[in-house]
Amino acid sequence: MTLSITDYSKRYGGLVAVDKVSLTAPAGAVTALIGPNGAGKTTLLNLISGVVIADSGSCKLLDQVVTGRTPHQLAHLGLTRTYQSPQLFDDMSVLETVMVGAHLRGGAGFVSSMLRIGRTRREEARLEEQALLAIDRVGLPAALLGRPAVDLAYGLQRRVEIARALAMQPRVLLLDEPAAGLNHQETQELAGLIDSLARGGLTVLLVEHDMDMVMGISRHVVVMNFGRKIAEGTPAEVQRNQSVIDAYLGAQAEEGADA
Amino acid sequence: MKVEQAIASSSSSATPATAASKRPSRVGARYRRDVIGVAVLAAISIAIGLTVTRSFYFTMLIYSAIYAIAALGMSLLFGFAGQISIGQAAFFGVGAYTSAYAVMHLGMPPVLGTVCATALAGAFGWLVSRPLLRLTTNYLAMGTLAFGVICFILFAQLRSITGGLDPGIVSLAPFSIGPWVLDEPRKMFWLVALVLCLVLLLVINLVHSRIGRALKALKVSEVGAAGLGVDVVRYKVATFTLAAALAGLAGSLFAHFQSAFNAGVFNVGLSIELLIMIVVGSVTTPWGALFGALFVTILPSFLEDFEHYKLLVYGVIMTAVMIYMPDGFGRGLVEALRGFYKRRRREK
Amino acid sequence: MSQFLQIVLAGISIGAIYSLAALGFTIVFNATKVTNFANGEFVMMGGLVSASLVVNAHWPAPLAVLVAVVSVAALGIALDKFGLQQARRKTILGYAMITIGFSLLYRGLMQVVAGRDVLFMPNFGVIPDLRVLDVYFSSQSTWILVTLVLVSGGLSFLFLRTRLGKAMRAASQSPRAAALCGIEPARMSALAFAMAAGAGALAGALVAPVGAAFYEYGLSFGLKGFAAAVLGGFGSPVGAVVGGLLIGLLESIAAGYLSSAYKDAVALAILLALLLVWPSGLLGRVEARRV
């Protein structure tokens, strides 16, 4: 399902965090969003995922306008995201955590859950199945199923988060710096996973700082700086683009002079 | 391609998760443990009911069970959904006064009166929950506190319905189911134990369900949970309503058992005691509500002149637990024991 | 007309007490981002300790009030150092629960130490009762109003003009940056608690001759002080003072013209209404609500 944003803008008081940014992320591919710290990438991600309301601009999933929808509504439409720091639940095992992701796959309400009628029991079994499938998909071994999710190594926690998102069976997945804090091998494994997810038909929007990872698996790269889109294209094109190079290296000196 | 390599490298060395699904459900195992716990509780209750003779013990257990019912609601609201409410005494009072009014003025049989009390308390909870639950932690705490005090003032002032602070409700008939009149503590014990076991089972069912997981998720991060499709507002309101209903049920049983009471019972102190119960027990499991209720109810009998030191003791306990064991004393104790056994095993 | 003015004056007098309580919330919140649920107990303790010393131990009032303010300030510091600073889980909920625990603890402490009697302290004296144009300014009212002016003035001078005040503001805005400049955030927060507790204790001592002192009064001062802070705009010291006076005024008018039985409910109803409809209050900044 194609995700397209047109002229999204957001300002906080005097600061323009996102300035008329447009991008399109097609299904079956990884679209990367990169830029120096403070470029507005996370804010843009917050706008797309409904956490923050945009001042202007619009967003569409396939052809449906979803501007201003809440995260809950977006989840129903098949869009979900992960966060920079894993939002894992203190008291829950890996399996239970991923089962939360499968929430929308079930329909039992308070009363039917309390009474635990037959239909609810069968649904529970089904949700557990789907969680196990998602856990398999990200390559987590069965030995970890019962461990508290917060006890795992950072790289594995990231996988749990992705598994949880996958359990929702989303069409669009937003990843917010999933490789942060991972070592080289973990990053490579993660890259492989994300690549295979995209090939499976998922629309992936990846915000990331690790350039090797980004350039290795992305079909299309969008570069932001100071809230604006300054370049976009294939990884090769973007790496050669002078304004991109300036943004990461040279622009700092200019910024110092202007301020 | 890197893809296949990545998946193969991580899962070839260990059993893939789906193979594990051939075994009985893991999540189901924890649920079964809790259900067995309820069965054990029921068995213990039956044993107590048949062997104990002193009324005093029954009285203590009845109050413990009544508060446990209300505390279970708090456990769901605070422990699972993470919503702090220091105004539950209001719903306890609504339940108590509704039962009193229904039986004494409308001539209803007590069972029907209790059903009405539970429903009315729940409805009242639903009504106030929507506006209140939009507030964030500190404001929610203050808001529910203010709400509880306003209700207390109303209980004290609306003397035509409640009897106010003096004389209050006098001589409400004991609970009766058809021909069985529960006019002794021993007899009331059977009913209260039964109700507690039923409520506990319902709560455990809820905790080990899709809803229970969703509540735990929204406690950690409402935005994160919403992003996974959880209808945060609806679930918070439903949990608050349920907690209010349970408090009302407890209030109704309290009214019948005590037979005479006044508005002074439903003050902030009661709300805070309910909070202390789950804090002392364990915030993260329904069993904590039971242990906490028992602890707080029987504590006075261990300290002479307890009334005088009650607040100080509660204050010290609550402060210490909240600083050092934020998940509750019960949980802190379990963790400490677990750590102790792990170290001993390692030394061997 | 003079009856109305009398009601207004009574309202402003008690309102001044609420203002001081509200300042307690504001100072602590600005320094630590914590809402101190035990703030009302500071007011209660100030009144109870000074009343106890005067009535039971026959101390002279000025000494009793001084000792009360200092000891309650010490208890405020204790809350910060032994409570909040020690917290294992540093979340908003965790801190709130700790301050709730302390409110019980201090209430219980007072119950044990000062007993369960309602104590009436004699007026401070010195300032005479005044009659201005048919309006009766009681001695104690004058004390209260004068103290409010002095405390407000003193605090604003402190925060705006002195180095210490600026250090506190720096520490609250960015603890790490302040630490790099040699300011210890822990000391600043302890200081904030000391000031809030001291101001609250002073308020309690001022109102003890008028409204009596009793260990259960903390809840009332706490809720009404909080209502005042929210009404004025939570986080704004000027708002705290204005909010307190307004709440006192509205409470007095309701008691005078409507019903005194529901007097206490007025401030609470205002608080609830504010929280639900207008949480930013008069001078506060609007909170951005996340989806």
Q: Which residues in chain C are closer than 8 Å to A50, comparing Cβ atoms?
A: 291
Phi/psi of residue B215, each to 5°? -65, -45
Nearest Cα residue in chain A from B226: A72
What secondary structure, in 3-state letters, does B224-236 show?
HHHHCCCCHHHHH
Residue B112 to residue A40: CA distance in whole angstroms = 60
Question: Using N-to-C axis directions, what is the helix angle for C92-114 and B137-157, rounded to 10°?
Answer: 40
Residue C289: its pLDDT value, please?
Answer: 41
- Contact of A50 with chain C, judged by CB distance below 8 Å, is answered with yes
Residue B243 pLDDT > 50, yes or no?
Answer: yes
Residue C197 to residue C69: CA distance in whole angstroms = 8
Alpha-carbon torsion B174, B175, B178, B180, what sign?
Answer: negative
Residue B74 tokens read as 């708090």
User: Are A50 and C290 a contacting pair at CB < 8 A?
Assistant: no
Residue A256: which pLDDT band, with cuts at 50, 70 and 90?
Answer: low
Residue C226 pLDDT > 60, yes or no?
Answer: yes
Residue C246 to residue C252: CA distance in whole angstroms = 10
The angle at the Cα of B158, spanning B157 to B162, to the nearest 5 degrees, equals 110
Q: Which residues in chain C are closer than 8 Å to B321, comparing Cβ atoms?
A: 101
ipTM over 0.90: no
Q: Which residues in chain A are closer than 8 Å to C291, comparing Cβ atoms?
A: 50-53, 70-71
Question: What is the tally of helices (H) and strands (E) in chain C?
Answer: 11, 2
Distance from CA of C287 to the nearest CA of A (A): 13
Burial class (CB in 10 A: 0-12, 13-18, 19+), B50: exposed
Residue A213 tokens read as 């990872």
User: Are B142 and C290 a contacting pair at CB < 8 A?
Assistant: no
- Contact of A71 with chain C, judged by CB distance below 8 Å, is answered with yes
Nearest Cα residue in chain B from A147: B26
User: Are C98 and B132 a contacting pair at CB < 8 A?
Assistant: no
Phi/psi of residue B304, each to 5°? -65, 145
Residues 54-73 in A contacting B (C-alpha not used; CB under 8 Å): 70-72
Residue B11: its pLDDT value, please?
Answer: 41
- Chains B and C form CB pairs within 8 A to the count of 130
**pLDDT tens string A184-232:** 888 888 899 999 999 989 999 999 988 888 888 999 999 988 888 888 8
What secondary structure, in 3-state letters, does C56-115 show?
CCCCCHHHHHHHHHHHHHHHHHHHHHHHHHHCCCCCHHHHHHHHHHHHHHHHHHHHHHHC
Distance from CA of B218 to the nearest CA of A (A): 9
Q: What is the mean pLDDT of residues B231-238?
A: 94
Residue B196: its pLDDT value, please?
Answer: 96
User: Are A108 and B211 a contacting pair at CB < 8 A?
Assistant: yes
Instruction: Share the mean pLDDT of chain C.
Output: 88
User: Are B311 and C107 a contacting pair at CB < 8 A?
Assistant: yes
Q: Which neighbouring-strand residues pair with A25?
A: A3
Residue B180: which pLDDT band, with cuts at 50, 70 and 90?
Answer: confident
Residue C168: which pLDDT band, with cuts at 50, 70 and 90?
Answer: confident
- Contact of B198 with chain A, judged by CB distance below 8 Å, is answered with no
Residue B4: which pLDDT band, with cuts at 50, 70 and 90?
Answer: very low
Q: Which helix (H) or strand (E) holds A6?
A: strand A3-12
Q: What pairing do the DSSP bridges indicate for beta strands A172-176 and A203-207? A: parallel
Task: Measure CB to CB from residue B147 to each of C35, C219, C272 and give the nearest one.
Answer: C272
Nearest Cα residue in chain A from C291: A51
Q: What is the mean pLDDT of residues C75-89?
A: 91
User: Are B216 and A146 a contacting pair at CB < 8 A?
Assistant: no
Q: Which helix (H) or strand (E) holds A3?
A: strand A3-12
Grouping H, G, I as helix, E, B as strand and the rest as coil, residue C255 is helix
User: Are C223 and B146 a contacting pair at CB < 8 A?
Assistant: yes
Top-ranked range on mean pLDDT: pick from A213-217, C99-103, C110-114: C99-103
Distance from CA of A51 to the nearest CA of C (A): 6
Residue A136 to residue B17: CA distance in whole angstroms = 5
Residue B175 pLDDT > 90, yes or no?
Answer: no
User: Are B226 and A120 a contacting pair at CB < 8 A?
Assistant: no
Residues 208-247 in B contacting A (C-alpha not used; CB under 8 Å): 209-214, 216-217, 219-221, 223-232, 238, 242
More confident residue, C229 or A149: C229
Residue B34 to residue B140: CA distance in whole angstroms = 31
User: Are B318 and C101 a contacting pair at CB < 8 A?
Assistant: yes
**pLDDT tens string C11-54:** 999 999 999 999 999 999 988 888 999 999 999 999 999 999 99
By percentage, how much of chain A surpasses pLDDT 90? 27
User: Are A70 and C290 a contacting pair at CB < 8 A?
Assistant: no
Distance from CA of A98 to the nearest CA of C (A): 23
Q: Which residues in chain C are closer than 8 Å to B157, comparing Cβ atoms?
A: 261-262
Residue A175 to residue A48: CA distance in whole angstroms = 12
Mutate to test the interface with B, among A103, A119, A123, A212 (most CBs of B within 10 A): A103
Residue C169: which pLDDT band, with cuts at 50, 70 and 90?
Answer: confident
Residue C290 pLDDT > 60, yes or no?
Answer: no
Residue B126: which pLDDT band, with cuts at 50, 70 and 90?
Answer: very high
Whose CA is closest to C232, among C284, C267, C287? C284
Task: Please name the residue ranges forming H helices in chain B.
Answer: 2-11, 17-20, 26-51, 55-74, 89-104, 110-132, 137-157, 159-162, 185-207, 210-220, 222-227, 232-258, 268-281, 286-298, 306-324, 329-347
Q: Which residues in chain A are closer than 8 Å to B15, comparing Cβ atoms?
A: 141-143
Residue C222 to residue A203: CA distance in whole angstroms = 53
Mutate to test the interface with C, among B311, B313, B317, B325 (most CBs of C within 10 A): B311
Q: What is the mean pLDDT of residues B294-310?
A: 81
- Give the range among B4-13, B227-236, C45-54, C118-127 with minimum mean pLDDT: B4-13
Mutate to test the interface with B, among C105, C223, C260, C264 (most CBs of B within 10 A): C105
- Chains A and C form CB pairs within 8 A to the count of 8
Residue C291 pLDDT > 80, yes or no?
Answer: no
Grouping H, G, I as helix, E, B as strand and the rest as coil, residue A147 is coil
Residue B67: its pLDDT value, please?
Answer: 97
Decide if C215 contacts C199 (C-beta within 8 A): no
Task: Kindly list the residues of chain C whose beta carbon comes within 8 Å of any beta carbon in chain B.
Answer: 35, 37, 83, 86-89, 92-94, 96-98, 100-109, 111-112, 116, 219, 223, 226-227, 261-262, 264-265, 268-269, 271-272, 275-276, 279, 290-291
Residue B6: its pLDDT value, please?
Answer: 39
Nearest Cα residue in chain C from B134: C276
How crowded is residue C291: how many other Cβ atoms within 10 Å of its Cβ? 20
Nearest Cα residue in chain B from C109: B312
What secondary structure, in 3-state letters, does C168-200 show?
HHHHHHCHHHHHHCCCCHHHHHHHHHHHHHHHH
Q: Which residue, chain included where needed, has tokens 């070839």?
A: B12
Q: Which residues in chain B are closer than 8 Å to C271, comparing Cβ atoms?
A: 142-143, 146
Residue A131 to residue A168: CA distance in whole angstroms = 9
Residue B2: which pLDDT band, with cuts at 50, 70 and 90?
Answer: very low
Q: Which residues in chain C are closer than 8 Å to A53, comparing Cβ atoms?
A: 291
- Contact of B280 with chain A, judged by CB distance below 8 Å, is answered with no
Mutate to test the interface with A, among B34, B209, B242 (most CBs of A within 10 A): B209
Q: Chains with ≥3 Cβ pairs under 8 A against B?
A: A, C
User: Are B229 and A110 a contacting pair at CB < 8 A?
Assistant: no
- Give the range among B23-27, B44-48, B85-89, C112-116 with minimum mean pLDDT: B23-27
Q: What pairing do the DSSP bridges indicate for beta strands A228-233 and A220-225? A: antiparallel
Residue B12 to residue B26: CA distance in whole angstroms = 22
Residue C284 pLDDT > 80, yes or no?
Answer: no
Residue C158: which pLDDT band, with cuts at 50, 70 and 90?
Answer: confident
Residue B309: its pLDDT value, please?
Answer: 84
The angle at the Cα of C142, spanning C137 to C148, to the nearest 5 degrees, equals 140
Distance from CA of B131 to the nearest CA of C (A): 6
- Contact of A235 with chain C, judged by CB distance below 8 Å, is answered with no
Residue B113 to residue B96: CA distance in whole angstroms = 10
Alpha-carbon torsion A155, A161, A163, A165, what sign?
Answer: negative
Phi/psi of residue C229, each to 5°? -65, -40
User: Are C94 and B275 a contacting pair at CB < 8 A?
Assistant: no
Q: Which residues in chain C are closer than 8 Å to A46, comparing Cβ atoms?
A: none
Decide if A31 contacts A23 (C-beta within 8 A): yes
Decide if A139 contacts B14 (C-beta within 8 A): no
Task: Measure CB to CB from residue C104 to each of B139, B318, B326 and give the nearest one.
Answer: B318
Mutate to test the interface with C, among A15, A53, A73 (most CBs of C within 10 A): A53
Whose CA is closest to B64, among B348, B336, B236, B292? B292
- Contact of A28 with chain B, judged by CB distance below 8 Å, is answered with no
Residue C72 pLDDT > 80, yes or no?
Answer: yes
Residue C167: its pLDDT value, please?
Answer: 83
Residue C178 pLDDT > 90, yes or no?
Answer: no
Whose CA is closest to C248, among C270, C217, C274, C233? C270
**pLDDT tens string A144-194:** 888 888 888 888 888 899 999 999 999 999 999 998 888 888 888 889 999
- Give the range among A71-75, B47-51, C154-158 with minimum mean pLDDT: C154-158
